[in-house]
Chains A and B, each alone.
Chain A
Amino acid sequence: MITRMLSLRHTALAGLALWLLAPTAQAAWTLNMTPGISAMSREIYSLHMLMFWWCVGIAIVVFGFMIYSMVHFRKSKGAVADQYFLHSNRIEIIWTLVPVLILISMAVPAARVLVLTEDPVATELSIRVTGYQWKWGYEYLDTGVTVVSTLSRDSNRARQLGSGIDPYSVPNYLLSVDHPLVVPAGVKVRVLITAQDVIHSWWVPALAIKKDAIPGFINEAWFDIDADKTGTYRGQCSELCGRDHGFMPIVLEVKSKADFDLWLKAQRDALKQPAATTASATTTTPTG
């Protein structure tokens, strides 16, 4: 009984915490970068915050000095200019060397994370990403499973010039597709990125991956999503690629390893049946 009450209390507390955190979490999302869903994305987020706080600190010192000079030495207060305070080698050396030290303290963690991002070894799954004007193609290498991912129909209707459809009435306006990219959590996945026509760029903020998709080139990136971060994550093409550049979103559906294996098996089975409909090679559940 007591344990049940305790667990009830826990649930209530957790619910309260969630309710309190949810709006702030959403507000933070519109002001700051997302920490993302992988160890790598959190590394990059920390680097971003480290740089941000350095900049805030430097700004307080430098702007403080400027404001003090402007206010304290203002002519209207009767300040008289000191005509002999014109140069000082010692000061010049100090404000050259101190920034050098600050830069070194920034460069070391930055270089460490950069090296980590370029480590696509020991991956268990490879997916080829191909950019087209204006959609994404995904191919699970060595399985024959392919997915073509285009802007969802309701977003596409609403985004036409003068459609008269309120974008707020469309769920995930401009960030939903007909067939999302399904990936497993807790598995190191390699993506091989290329393009068919012009240069695109494949960007999923939650993974902190942005890599250009270039015709004739194959770029490489990797991610390893936390096992508990299943769900839907959204991104967009981020290299101007023509008229509908703003309308080729990326939707990532993260499944647990077991669910993913089931999904992939279903796709492969569907491929084997010649009688399957045209949509058979792709998932049939559109995500909103």
Chain B
Amino acid sequence: MATTDSAAAAHDDHDHKPHGFWNRWLTTTNHKDIGTLYLVFSCIMFFIGGSFAMLIRAELFRPGLQFLDPALFNTMTTMHALVMIFGAIMPAFVGLANWMIPLQIGAPDMALPRMNNFSFWILPFAFTLLLSTLFVPGGAPAGGWTMYPPLVLQTGNALPLMIFAVHLMGASSILGAINVIVTIMNMRAPGMTLLRMPLFVWTWLITAYLLIAAMPVLAGAVTMLLTDHFFGTSFFNAAGGGDPVMFQHIFWFFGHPEVYIMILPAFGIISEIIPTFSGKPLFGYDAMVYATASIAFLSFIVWAHHMFTVGMPLSSELFFMLSTMLISIPTGVKVFNWSTTMWRGSVSFEPPMLWALAFLFLFSIGGFSGLMLAIAPADFQYQDTYFVVAHFHYVLVTGAIFAIMGAVYYWLPKWTGHMYNMALAKWHFWLSVVFVNVLFFPQHFLGLAGMPRRVPDYATQFTDWNMVSSIGGFGFGLSQLLFPYLIWQCSRGGIKATGQVWESARGLEWELPSPAPYHSWAEAPSMATLAHGAPSHEVDS
């Protein structure tokens, strides 16, 4: 280990970082710089999308309209979803993939570095287009992120801007996915067989295939919207012989794999963090890989559970109900394996572990409500209510976002070379975990009591829980301001991090010094000679 450290440190002195701000960041082909760009971009979008959510919760604080016109309210729900899904969560995972996959598999960089630069720099243009719709005549998109026709075709000048923005985001995701697959398939260090890869790499490999399969479907759907609106086609127009429900089938054929695109990398992150802070390798590694693959397969045959109320034949409803219920089996296997990793372990509670444990509990709650939603007859009552809103925020906020937070706290010392402020990080965690439950748990009650989603105003019996939820929302939103401050502080200095950072961390990335040198693994590591290089699930003796 010592020799690796000093050799890399010597290399660090002439690491050929490009000089000058624009030269460094605009034209970079370095996977670490591009990873950083993705993560910073994602953080900015997280706060823009979050500010939309704050407006929504302010309006819903009490009955009656106080701040937003109903049309503007609909714009806020639509833009909140689009920005959070395509701007915050997906780019955050791509940023983590860029940073960590080459480090974890012992590759010097991503396989296609120039395409990597391109796939990032598409995103600022996509979101400039999308956010510019807030200022165009006719208002920004307000038909929901699901863009169902015929409603979405009532959008004003913003419609083509939104569609082109979605095309750009899709192109960026597809390019990123190709890069991940080519890198993992071709650039693993000698000796790292597929079934020795860290779980984060595995989940990203599977996610990348989902992206390549799903994003073109979305592109097709929005292109048909475009031609319906501007070129007189009738794909979704019943009056012209089209079918508005067909859009929903196509959209959710993309949309359900998309849900797993946003959670599989999170599974990978949790599978890295829990073993490290349990002091022993992941329990049931092979089962975890197969469970991930099963979830990915099932994600393509469950889409219509988003549309149980659309009036499908009985046989379709039965099929989609049963296939959806099946998903809980591989997901259960994952939760059980994570829990059993802690069993007979040596569990410590550093910030990354706190986020991972919160994920374990709260994502499971999202799983329970998901199982309830799978039951088609009961879904007739849940569909399009706040029960659904509570469900998908439990899986996306306390699932995906909490995993991303955990990942940043896990790998930040490796990126900056400094330990961060542990006390402040724990404050950030505890404030978040308390407020997020105050924010989303009462929404289960609201939904069951009969409050529909996407409404700017509500009947007076819904007031109490909406007030509680809004207070939780403001608390959660404000707590997140600690996060960029903490990262900024850590990037400026602090206690010097060791190469391994965490006592029981295993894997190639911990073999490198902290911060990871600008060019790492120029020479592929040999799996046999490394102190901590054995994959996280194998015991090195």
Contacts and interface: CB of A to CB of B under 8 A. Distances in A.
B217 interface: no
Interface string B222-260: 000000000000000011000111000000000000000
Interface stretch (A10-18, A113-121, A122-130, A263-271): A113-121
B348 A76 contact: yes
8 contacts: A82-B344, A96-B333, A111-B321, A117-B380, A216-B243, A217-B245, A219-B310, A240-B151
A240 B71 CA distance: 11
Contacts of B339: 62, 65-66, 69
A17 B333 CA distance: 48
A244 B456 CA distance: 9
B329 A99 contact: yes
Contacts of B539: 83-84, 86
A238 B453 CA distance: 7
A208 interface: yes
Nearest to A134: B70
A81 B279 contact: yes
A30 B461 contact: yes
Nearest to A71: B347
Nearest to A205: B450
Interface of B: 63-66, 68-71, 74, 142-144, 148, 150-151, 154, 238-239, 243-245, 278-287, 309-311, 314, 317-318, 321-322, 325-326, 328-329, 332-333, 335-337, 339-340, 342-349, 357, 360-361, 364-365, 368-369, 371-372, 375-378, 380-381, 383-385, 445, 448-450, 452-462, 464-465, 504, 537, 539
Given A48-B375, A51-B371, A243-B74, 15 more contacts: A30-B461, A32-B445, A47-B377, A48-B372, A55-B369, A59-B364, A81-B280, A91-B284, A92-B337, A96-B333, A99-B332, A111-B318, A214-B310, A219-B311, A242-B74
Contacts of A215: 150, 238-239, 244
Interface in A227-246: 235-246
A82 B279 CA distance: 9
Interface residues of A, number: 95
Given A55-B371, A110-B376, A242-B154, A74 B347 contact: yes
Interface stretch (A1-9, A157-165, A276-284): A157-165
Contacts of A235: 450
Chain A contact surface mostly: mixed
Interface stretch (A136-144, A181-189, A193-201): A193-201
Contact of B239 (A100, A174, A216, A247): A216
Nearest to A110: B375
B288 to A, nearest CB: 10
A99 B328 CA distance: 8
A236 B384 CA distance: 11
Nearest 3 CB-CB pairings of A with B: A216-B238, A246-B455, A81-B279
A246 B70 contact: yes
Interface of A: 29-34, 43-44, 47-48, 51-52, 55, 58-59, 62-63, 65-66, 69-70, 73-76, 79-88, 91-92, 95-96, 99-100, 103, 106-107, 110-111, 113-115, 117-118, 158-163, 165-168, 172-175, 197-199, 201, 203, 205, 208-212, 214-217, 219-220, 235-247
A168 B460 CA distance: 7
A198 B318 CA distance: 27
B177 to A, nearest CB: 30
A198 B452 contact: no
A73 B349 CA distance: 12
B364 A86 contact: no
Contacts of A167: 63-64, 460
B333 A73 contact: no
A169 to B, nearest CB: 10
A246 B151 CA distance: 15
A217 B357 contact: no
A43 B335 contact: no
A106 B375 CA distance: 8
A212 B344 contact: no
A175 B344 CA distance: 56
A114 B309 contact: no
B433 to A, nearest CB: 15
Contacts of B340: 69, 91
Given A85-B344, A173-B63, A205-B450, A107 B286 contact: no
Contacts of B239: 215-216
A158 B151 CA distance: 26
Contacts of B364: 59, 62-63
Contact of A208 (B332, B342, B381, B464): B381
Contacts of B279: 75, 80-81
Contacts of A238: 383-385, 452-453
A107 B346 contact: no
Contact of A205 (B143, B148, B332, B381): B381
A173 B461 CA distance: 9
Contact of B456 (A81, A165, A210, A246): A246
A199 B283 contact: no
B535 to A, nearest CB: 12
Contact of A82 (B151, B309, B345, B381): B345
Contacts of B332: 95-96, 99
B325 A210 contact: no
A33 to B, nearest CB: 5
Contact of B280 (A85, A158, A244): A85
Nearest to B380: A210
Most buried by B among A76, A173, A197: A173
Contact of A33 (B318, B368, B381, B537): B381
B459 to A, nearest CB: 5
A101 to B, nearest CB: 11
Most buried by A among B151, B378, B454: B378
A117 B318 CA distance: 12
A29 B287 CA distance: 43
Contacts of A244: 70
